[in-house]
Structure 1
């Protein structure tokens, strides 16, 4: 499957970037209409839009789910590390954020780059591979591709993106959707397994309890203490805010969700994370499959 190239610049001032979300302004915002799929990219007054980095999921720094306040995952155990590394890799320095995670100043104000996208999500964010500097070259003689060009993305191109960089350092979890080409998913799976084995400083794998089991005693268990797959965190924090820490009804709650996916040993689509989540003693939860084995359907 080919992806659409769009050139432009990354901008973070007055935004809330995290380890897998950043703001992008195309050189020509009209190219947002070239993004495939039925979901349209939501644009601000300047023509910029929010990007969700494809194939990865970073610990949450400001999740707005059920309840009046933002919730976050342990900030000192990877949530800020992924965000800071993404901004550094893109070329931002001296980034200052307020206590709501909003950027109040940065150097420079914007940095050039490009994205490779196969669509937008339900929240109207462009789902993309994120590159910096000059776009990949095509043709003979090779020249940087222009916006609107459809590229069959190679593994070498993938390795030039922030998505691969963050995953290789173990700062984010892999989270795959069906729109991602198989060859790229295979490479990212191998990259993630290497990062998990390396257990580098700052890696989410150092403290991850997603498949080993997380004992939930209160809301602080998941916001301050335990490192979990962000997709599971989001479901858990909403559940605990609504019903308290007892997890006896969590499978039923998850069954009401719309997560659709396939597994290697179950190629027919399943709906609801209760199919890959196990609760024991009404207080401990774990996922029964490694996240790289789950292939989600993009709605």
Structure 2
């Protein structure tokens, strides 16, 4: 499957970037109309839009969900590390944020780059592979591709993106959707598995309890102490805020979330609900029974 190339710049002032979300302003916002799929990209008054980095999921720094307040995952155990590495890799040298994670000053104001996208998500964020500097070259003789060009993205192109970079450092989790081409997913799976084995300093894998088991006593357990898959964290934050920390009904709650995914041994029809890959013991300990890279999610 080809992806659409769009050139432009990354801008973070007055935004809340995290390890898998950043703001992008195309040189020509009209190219948002070329993004494939049924979900349109929501744009601001300047033509910019929020990007969700394809194939990865970073620890949450400001999840809203159910309730009046933002919730975050352990900030010192990877949440800020992924965000900081993303901004550094893009070319931002100095970022100032307030207590709500909003950027109040950035140096430089913008950095040039490009995205490769196959569509937008249900929140109307553009889902993209994120590159910096000049876009990939195509043709003979090779010339930088222009906005609107549809590229069959190679593994080499993938390795020039921050998506791959963050995954290779173990700063984010792999999270795959069906729109991602199979050969790119295979490479990212191997990259994530290598990072899990290496457990480099700062890696989420050093403290990950997603499959080993998270003993949850209260909301602070998952916001301050335990590192887990962000998708699972978001579901648990909502559950605990609504029903409290006893996990006796957690699997039933996950069934209502209607996450759709396939597994290698069951490519179709999709499995509905994370309860199929989650077990709860003693009413307080939860774990996923499959590594996240085994799940291929359906983008709704």
For the criterion TM > 0.5, the same-fold answer is: yes
Q: Residue 248 of structure 1 aligns to a residue in which SS?
A: helix
Q: Which residue of 1 aligns with 2:221?
A: 221
Per-residue Cα deviation, 1:38-82 (whole angstroms, up to 9, x for no partner)? 000000000000000000000000001000000000000000000
Partner of 2:116: 116
Distance 2:138 2:166 in 1: 26
RMSD: 0.4
Paired position in structure 1 for 2:292: 291
2:126 is aligned to 126
SS at match of 1:43: coil
Deviation of residue 229 (structure 1)?
0.1
Structure 1 residue 93, shift from structure 2 partner: 1.2
Residue 266 of structure 1: CA displacement?
A: 1.8
Using the size of structure 1 for normalisation, the TM-score is 1.00
Q: 1:1-299 alignment to 2 at 5 Å?
A: 1-268=1-268, 269-299=270-300
Q: Structure 1 segments of 4 or more deviating over 2 A?
A: none
Determine the C-alpha separation between the residues in 1 that align with 2:289 and 2:151.
36
Q: Give the superposition deviation at 1:265.
A: 1.7
Separation of aligned partners in 2, 1:59 and 1:208: 11
- Number of equivalent positions: 299
Q: CA deviation at 1:159?
A: 0.1
Could you report, residue by residue, the CA deviation over 1:95-125 in whole angstroms, capped at 9, with x for unpaired residues?
A: 0000000000010000000000000000000
Structure 1 distance, partners of 2:261, 2:193, is 21
CA distance in 1, matches of 2:149, 2:163: 20
- Take 1:74 and 1:164, find their aligned partners in 2: how far apart are those partners? 23
Stretches of structure 2 lacking an aligned partner (at least 5 in a row): none
Deviation at 1:258, TM superposition (A): 2.1
Distance 1:143 1:123 in 2: 34
Looking at structure 2, the residues matched to 252 and 200 of structure 1 have their Cα atoms a distance apart, in angstroms, of: 36
Unaligned runs of at least 5 residues, structure 1: none
Tell me how far 1:295 sits from its aligned partner: 0.2
